[in-house]
Chains A and B, each alone.
Chain A
C-alpha cells in the first residue's frame, strides 16, 4: 500500500508539482516553435495581398486583391492548375480502383507467396523515385511517350500503387467476412459484393488513399519536370518554378498569390483526411 507511507506521498506530490512547472516551460517553448513554423508562411500570406510586396514579413501598406486577379485571369496559370488537377485526379482515381481490386484477393484468400508479395510491395514503397527518373525518361523517350499527360499519369499510378495496396489491404482486413457471406448466399458475384458491401464499409479508408495520392502528385515537382516539356501541359508545380526562375525578382506578390492558391487545396484536403483517420497518423494505416 504505497499510498499510506508519508514519504512516498510527499515525493509523489513534488513529482506532480515539478511536472506542472515543466509544463509551463514546455508551454512557452511550444509557442516559440509555433511562431518559428508560421513565420515563413506568414510572409506568403501578407505578400499576396501587398501591392508592392517586399521579401520580409510586413503587413501590407497598400492592401490589394490585384495579385490574385492577375493570377486568376492569366490563361496559362489556369491551364497549369487544370493540368495539376487532371494529373492528380486521374492518378488518385486509378490508384483507388486498382488498389481495391488488388488488395481484395490479398485480404480474402490464402494465396501462395502472399507474404512475399506484400513484403515486395512494402520494399518498393521505400525506394527513392528520384533514382529511377533518369531511366524512366530514357525508356519514355525511346518509346516516344515523353511529354504526355497520360503516360506521366500511368507512371505516377505505378509509383503510388505499392503503398496504396498496403493501406487498402489493412482497411479491407477490418471488414468482417460474414457481411459478404450473406451476399454470396443471395447469389451476388465478387464484383457485386465489392461494390455493395465492401465499398460502403471502407469508404473512409478509400478517401484517405485518394487524398494521400492526390496530394502526393499535386505537390510533385520532379516527375512532371522531367517528363513534361511543353508549356501547355505543365502542372502548377513546374509552372510556378518557371515563374519563380524567370520573373522571381519582379513580382513577388503575384508569385505569393499563385503559391497560396496552389497550396490551399492540398492543405484543405489534408485537414479533411485527418478527420477520417481515427487513430491519428500511423503512416496512413500502413504501419499498425
Chain B
C-alpha cells in the first residue's frame, strides 16, 4: 500500500477515538447548556418537559439576584486571598527559602507541603473541620496563650475556607517557583549585590522581573484551578453560615439541584465557562510567549 495512504489511515484511525469522546462528552454538553440557559427548564415538575424559551431573562435575573451578586463577591474574595495571593506568596517564599538548603530539609519541607496537594478534597474538608472546630486543634493551640475558644467555621467561615485552600494548593505554586528560581542565573544575583542592592531590591529589581513569565502563567493556572473549586467549600461549610461562603459553583449547584431551576443554573454555568474560556485563552497566550 502507498505510504501516504497508510499515513492517512493512521491519522484518522488513531486520532478519532480520543477526539470523538472529547466532542461527545465535552463539547456537546457545553453547546446544549448554551441552549438550555435561554429556557425556564426545571429538574422536576411540569417545566422539566414543557419548558419554553425565555430569552435572556435568566441572565438578567442573575445580575439582579442579590445572592448571586453575593456569590460573585465571595468568589472574588476567596480567589484573591486563597490562590492569587495566599498560595502564590507562600509558595514563592517557601521555594526561595529552600533554594540554598540541604537536600534533607528540602525533601522534608517539600513532602509536607505536598501532603495538602495529594490529599483528596473531601478529606481536606474533614481535616479542617476538625482543625477549626470549637474544640479543635487551633483553639487548643490558642488556649495555651490564654485565648478563649472561637467558633471559626461559624464566625470566620470565609477565613477558614481561605486557609484550608491555601493549605491544599500551595504545593502547586511552590513547585512552579522552584523550577523558575532554579533558572535564575547566580551571576546576576551576585552582581546586583556587589552593586550594593539589599535583599528587597534584589527581590523586586532582579529576581521577580526574571521570573515574570512564570508569575503570569502561575497566576492564571491557580485562578483556573480555584474558580471551579466545589468539594472543599461544600464539604467544609456547605456555603454557610447563611451565604457567607457561597461561591458561584456552590450557588450554581444549589439553584440547579436543590431548587431544581436547571435553566437558571445553566446560565450561571455559562457565565463561569465564559470566564474560564477568557482565562484559558490568556493562558495559551502566555504559554506561547514562554516557548
Contacts and interface: CB of A to CB of B under 8 A. Distances in A.
Interface stretch (A60-68, A69-77, A153-161, A173-181): A153-161
A116 B229 CA distance: 29
Given A33-B113, A127-B277, A221 B118 contact: no
A22 B193 CA distance: 14
A40 B131 contact: yes
A196 interface: no
A9 B36 CA distance: 72
Interface string A116-156: 00010011111111111111111100000000000000110
Interface residues of B, dominant DSSP: helix
Contacts of A159: 25-26
A83 interface: no
Interface string A26-41: 1101110110011111
B50 interface: no
Contacts of A44: 123, 126-127, 130
A124 B26 contact: yes
B115 A43 contact: no
Give the bracket for the number of chain A residues in contact with chain B. Answer: 35 or more
A188 interface: no
Given A19-B100, A122-B287, A281-B179, A101 B18 contact: yes
B5 interface: no
19 contacts: A22-B199, A30-B109, A33-B109, A33-B112, A43-B127, A56-B137, A101-B15, A101-B17, A102-B15, A130-B252, A131-B270, A134-B262, A137-B256, A215-B118, A219-B120, A237-B120, A240-B123, A255-B126, A283-B176
Given A30-B101, A215-B118, A281-B176, 13 more contacts: A12-B190, A44-B130, A98-B18, A124-B22, A127-B277, A132-B273, A134-B265, A135-B36, A138-B266, A139-B29, A219-B118, A266-B118, A281-B179
Interface of B: 6-7, 10-11, 14-15, 17-19, 21-22, 24-26, 28-30, 32-33, 36, 41, 90, 94, 97-98, 100-101, 105, 108-109, 111-116, 118-123, 125-131, 133, 135-137, 139-140, 167, 175-176, 178-179, 190, 193-194, 199, 217, 220-221, 224, 227-231, 234-235, 249, 252-253, 256-257, 262, 265-266, 268-270, 272-273, 276-277, 279-281, 283-284, 287, 290
